[in-house]
Amino acid sequence: DDGGGKVVVLRDGDNKYIDLGRKRRVGVTKFKAAVLVDIREYYDAGGQMKPGKKGISLAEDEWKILKKSVPIIDK
């Protein structure tokens, strides 16, 4: 099962992200010269979506491990 959903890449200013539904997004951000994969819940702040406290930012090495682990997770 591929999840049945369609991957849609959206923009918020200069940032690209993938909307996972239920106010969750995955995007790539930069913080202190580090590139991070950010998986986070968002909330509506007067019509504008803002990042919430619930989420995780993965460094490049962590993201590579997660990508390699997808077949194991899918079993």
Domain boundaries, the chain: 9-74
45 — pLDDT class (breaks 50, 70, 90)? very high
pTM: 0.74
SS3 label, residue 43: strand
Position with higher pLDDT, 68 vs 14: 68
pLDDT tens digit string along 3-13?
566 777 877 77
- Does domain 9-74 fall under CATH 2.30.31.10? My reply is yes
Distances (CA, A) of 17 to 44, 62, 72, 73, 74: 16, 19, 25, 23, 23
